[in-house]
Structure 1
Amino acid sequence: MEDYLLANVDVILGFAVVILTIFYRFEFPPILGFLVTGMLIGPYGLGILSGGEIDMTSELGVVFLLFTIGVDLSLNDLWKMKKAIMGGGVLQILFTTTLAFIICTWIGFSSATSIFIGLLISLSSTAIVLKVFQDKNEVDTPHGKTSLAILIFQDLAIVPLILITPILAGSSISFDGAFSNIFFKGSLIIFVFILSSRFLVPWIFYCVGRTGSKQLFLVSVVFICLSAAVFTSSIGLSLALGAFLAGIVISGSQYSHQAMGNILPLKDMFMSFFFVSIGMLLNISYLLDHLPLLVLAAVALIIIKSIAGMLITIILGYPLRTTIITGLALSQVGEFSFVLSKLGLEYSLLSKETYQAFLAVSIITMGVTPFLINASYRPAEFIVKKASDSVYGMKLVRGFCSGPFEGKECVEPEIKDHLIMVGFGFFGKTISKAAKAAGIPYIILETNPDIVKQEKTKGERIQYGDATFGAVLEHAGIRNARVLITGISDSLATIKLRAATPP
């Protein structure tokens, strides 16, 4: 059995090395290379593997990915993102499901199947989107955080969606039992993770840290991650949710950076198996036989989800550039949709042909996601530039939560030799504290309306605005400023900021 498993892993790695080397020469994203590897060696390709052999390793990839995202966050970060998580997540599912319901009903699907298909495609891929943003170092950008917030809600929404599926199929279900079950599971999770964050996890890391063993620390991190995943799975929730919560618990401790450093190599390794397993699902013969129709359906799905994502982020008050990039980033179908689709097939909400079509379209959208995200920046800049020519366009560009430049309430007192800080993340907060301590006058520019509102109540000298626009910098007194410091992770925005800064 061990030799059989090792042989399968060896086959995957061997094909992946060859295909990714070719893709690298043509500058194709690695994710697409892994998907093609799965298609090639899977049951519908060369038939070397059937797909079931790497299910466990592919699940570990998603588990470790969500764990690292959790370690990067904290409970305070989640609380700050509450509007985007709850408001954005709910609206995204509702908008996407409504648009899909209208189209599917028009095509000829039943109402129940149309709603179910809408719910299926409303979920986006946490694994792919966050992997692309992590590779580009853009998780902490406005579009990265907004996408993350909506994706977190979608991952949590899989539980009630599984409960809704039998109802759509016409099966009877006890609502009292279902809701009491959800309440019990939620209470149990909260109790266990609060207990772990206060006592168990700090005690484990303290004891391990005293030994000074790096190997023991790595084993402890993996143990905590997998234990949390197994716990949530044992009560009927996803493995990834437990891993994410374990990361949140560790993020609040002093051991978070070391834990992140230990787990990253494992995450990258197992994530490759996840993408290979997704590629194995695609029936190549079905794809080739119905290619024009499937490509058309994939394009329609991307447009529907992009429109829904953009509308939501506009409603949340984010700038136009953030809305465009976020909408395109969330335009694919997610990995949890595959779990839900199998349930729909079981309850006859999907026919076998519709199921295969769904798989093909989903994998097409997953495959083009890295290209869409990488290509979204230039169109976003072009649209922003065109919209900036009018007063109403500038309102859209800056976000509906922003105030006007003109007016006594917005005008900063005349200051000179001050510091302008772009972005109010960890780095921005550190600089502002140092400036206060040294008695240096400063102004902060931030594009997140929630942060601006919150910090203004604390008396912080912060303005809402995108610093890549000259008018925003002029309002902040750029010509009289001594220093401009950028604390944002978006490299393209940083280049634009340099161009917008007067000599």
Structure 2
Amino acid sequence: MSLLAETTETAHHLEPLITDLGLILMTAGIAVLIFRKLKQPLVLGYLIAGFLAGNHFDFFPSVKDIKSVEVWAEIGIIFLLFSLGLEFSFKKLMKVGGTASITAGVQIISMCLVGYSVGQWLDWPKMDSIFLGVILSISSTTIILKSFDELGVKTQRFAGIVIGSLIVQDILAILMMVLLSTIAVSNQFSGGALLMSVLKLVFFLVLWFLGGIFIIPTVLKKTKHLLTDEMLLIISLALCLMMVILAANAGFSPALGAFIMGSIIAETTQAEHIEHLIKPVKDFFGAVFFVSVGMLINPDALYEHAIPVIVLSIVTIFGQSISSTIGALLSGQPLKDSIRTGMSLSQIGEFSFIIATLGVTLKATNTFLYPIVVAVSAVTVFTTPFMIKYSQPFSEYLAHKLPRKWTKRIERYSASTQAIKTVSLWQTVINAFLIQVIVLVVIILAIILLSSRFILPLVNDYHLGNTLGALIILVILSPFLWALAFRRVATAEVEQLMYDRKSRGPLTMLFFVRIVLSIFFIGLLLNIFFSPQVALIALIIAVVIYLIFQRKLHIQYHKIENHFLTNLNDREIAKAKRSRSDLSPWDGHMAFFDIAAESNIAGESLKDLQIRENLGINIVSIKRGEVMIHIPDANERVFPGDEVCVIGTDAQVQEFKKYLDQHEMDVSPEVVEPDIVLRQIELKNHVFHGKSIKESRLREKTKGVIVGIEKRGKRTLNPESNIILEKDDILWIVGDKKLLWDLVHD
């Protein structure tokens, strides 16, 4: 009887959590249908639906337990940032360059100052104003990328600047979350506390990244043949939650841990596959998060603070646009691209919610800030697609209306900025020196701290235990200590600088600093295990042994480094192998489209449609039910339900998509494994030398079509059949996979 009562009690205890989740999902489903029909951003629909389904309205079903909503919202944040990390990759930050860094930096600094000033003008407390400044400075990655996809501008130049800026913003947002946590907890602006928080963040970021890249890709590669999709999904989520626990125990936000693990997995060869598996989870918890955010809005607070919502919406739209435009101009971008970049970044989104939630959780901000932020986000989310859509005509209008003297100066500045983007020898050497020292110091310090916490208590009570423990740790540290002291960096640049007598002194100092650091860490470790006198003698012995075994330590360190670099670059190497057959000179690629039943080109022959002649695109296959027609001839017709595979540049594929849309086509690109492939072939076979493309009969031999040729560095797309083939020509051929393989290996 007691067991039954206990079971019933447990069921009643779980019920609000389950029923509230059901309400959240039902609300999200209705929002998806309505806002998809209205062609509006789904995030806006989730927010409004959650707002109406919250417990502030009696005429809608309401959540029973607001705590359960907060739990689902926190889980939503974790998986949302994990999926964002999967799309991020730390190496992307290294590639975005100065343009994105300057644009994002100017925007964030400007908006932090503007937000703080507006908060003070509204007579808000200082802490609320600080949080407001940070909240208004972070644009929405989710909304912008979704809008780019819907408007078809993702491949344009300004979009690259925007995406690079978003990457920098995301990193800075993580840093600012840590700083805000420190300020909120201490409730004071201590420079020393902030510096320690930054150093702690850098230490853990470097440590987690190095450890993650060294271990996780190796494990995934070794177990690849054992992993099913189900197992890979479970392992990925387990790794995410493991890092969430580590981050929380280290005193950071759980969202930071999820983001970092996503970024680590993004460097593996299975990143795309994992991203594909995670997508339903991300969509599920993303919907839960945004609906939960809407449920937490208090309409009374919105009514009471309607004026701040309107003011902050205007400040966000214009402030973000102007500051980002100025940042892009300062980085040397042309006027039109800068304006389009600024107008695209004119909103706040998911990170703003997270920072607002942080303020509420830490009790650092007043309760009215959260609903105001969500309302401002809803307004700016709604305006974003229109800002992006009309950015091009507005940029052209402004460029035409501005005084000619101004536009000339901007053009001159842009050209001169691009011209002076060179890196000095000293800059290269200092960068290499700092990267190596920071990485090695973090590794060495982490091992020493772990040994003092876990190894020392184990060996302290045993005779010679300290000696054995110190010896084991010194052996583990030895490759890293050798690298810190002696490994050469930027060798070519250092040799060039050594010719200049003035440079020899600073270079010698850099070398001396590294040796001193390595000796300091040896002494630090020995001092933990022994008394100072014994530690000094052991230090001398250890340094002598390290000098004797230099060569072996050099080999051992390079094995460790090569393993790390292999894991780090595996994804890019695999991607390069897959894309060797891409039409890289012209940015060409394959795309798949379905012919709709109501299409008015159905039944027409390729000869009559003149698609290649008018659009420059090649139709390389038609799939009709179970039948695949490779390299269809001019008399072949397209029919309803056909799947056509085309090949061309981004612009050509986009034009073809417009062409299909004009003829009322339902376009649904699919990822498939084609029987026909695109291959890049270097013409080494002398049989074809001196013959024209037509005489070589390459089309017949590969059941394909030659879509590109490079002769003596000059590239031609869709070459004529009378072009003579010569030695070392490079051909791009679309054809039967097996026949092309035979041709290459003949």
- Which residue does 1:51 correspond to in 2? 66
Contact 1:298 1:362 in 2 (8 A): no
State the match for 2:356 in structure 1: 338
Q: Could you tell me which residue of structure 2 aligns to residue 242 of structure 1?
A: 257
| 2:32 equivalent to 1:17 | no
CA contact (8 A) 1:100 1:304 kept: no
Contact conserved, 1:92 with 1:312, CA < 8 A, in 2? yes
Structure 1 CA distance, aligned partners of 2:268 and 2:113? Answer: 42
Secondary structure of the residue aligned to 2:47 is helix
TM-score (norm 2): 0.50
Q: Assess, with a 3 A threshold, how the Cα gap between structure 1 residues 101 and 254 changes in structure 2: closer, same or farther.
A: closer
**Residue type at the aligned position of 2:302:** L
Deviation at 1:79? Answer: 0.5
- 2:181 aligned partner, one-letter code: I
Alignment partner for residue 7 of structure 1, among 19, 22, 27?
19
> Superposition pairs for residues 45-444 of structure 1, below 5 Å?
45-46=57-58, 47-83=62-98, 86-108=101-123, 114-115=129-130, 117-126=132-141, 128-129=143-144, 132=147, 141-142=159-160, 143-165=162-184, 169=187, 171=188, 175-176=191-192, 179-198=195-214, 200-291=215-306, 294-319=309-334, 320-332=336-348, 334-342=352-360, 346=363, 352=366, 355-356=367-368, 358-389=369-400, 391=404, 400-402=413-415
Residues 104, 216 of structure 1: CA spacing in aligned structure 2 closer, same or farther, 3 A cutoff?
Answer: closer
What TM-score does the superposition give when structure 1 sets the normalisation length? 0.71
Contact in 2 for aligned 1:89/1:154 (Cα 8 Å): no
Say whether the 8 Å CA contact 2:17–2:65 is kept in structure 1. no
Q: State how far apart, in whole Å, the 2-side matches of 1:292 and 1:4 are.
A: 36
- CA positional deviation for 1:2: 3.3
Question: Match for residue 688 of structure 2?
Answer: none
Task: Answer yes or no: is the 8 Å Cα contact 1:66–1:244 preserved in 2.
Answer: yes
Q: Contact 1:132/1:370 (CA < 8 Å) preserved in 2?
A: no
* Aligned-pair identity (%): 20
Residue 265 of structure 1 deviates from its aligned partner by: 0.6
Cα RMSD of the aligned pairs, angstroms, is 4.1
Using the TM superposition, give the Cα deviation of residue 266 of structure 1 relative to its aligned residue in structure 2, in angstroms: 0.2
Q: Once the two structures are superposed, what CA deviation does each residue of 1:170-212 show, in whole Å capped at 9, x if it has no partner?
A: x485x545534542443233123212211x2123313442224
Offset, 1:342: 2.4
- Asked if 1 retains the 8 angstrom alpha-carbon contact of 2:78 and 2:254, the reply is yes
User: Could you report, residue by residue, the CA deviation over 1:247-299 in whole angstroms, capped at 9, with x for unpaired residues?
Assistant: 22222221111111111110000001110121122211232355355324432
Offset at residue 146 of structure 1 (A): 2.1
Per-residue CA deviations over 1:307-365 (Å, capped at 9, x if unaligned) read 22332232223343454444443432612331353278x45xx5x4xx41x33331122
Q: Note the C-alpha offset of 1:228.
A: 1.8
How far did 1:434 drift?
Answer: 6.7
In structure 1, distance between residues paired with 2:391 and 2:328: 14
On the 8 A contact 2:182/2:193 being kept in 1, the answer is: no
**1:82 Cα deviation after fit:** 5.0
Ranked by relative contact order (alpha carbons within 8 Å, sequence separation 6 or more), the top structure is: 1
For residues 128 and 61 of structure 1, do their structure 2 counterparts lie closer, same or farther at Cα, with a shift above 3 Å needed?
A: farther
AA matched with 1:263: I
CA positional deviation for 1:374: 0.9
**How many residues are aligned here?**
424
Paired residue secondary structure (2:414): coil
**1:50 CA drift (Å):** 4.4
> Counterparts of 1:486 and 1:373 in 2: how far apart (Å)?
28
**Who is 1:467 aligned against?**
none
Distance 2:171 2:327 in 1: 15
8 Å Cα contact 2:20/2:68 also seen in 1: yes
CA distance in structure 2 between the aligned counterparts of 1:490 and 1:434, rounded to whole angstroms = 14
Show the counterpart of 1:472. none
**Aligned AA for 2:385?**
N
Query: Which one of 28, 49, 55 corresponds to residue 40 of structure 2?
Result: 28
Residues in 2 aligned to 1:213 and 1:106: alpha-carbon distance in whole angstroms: 57
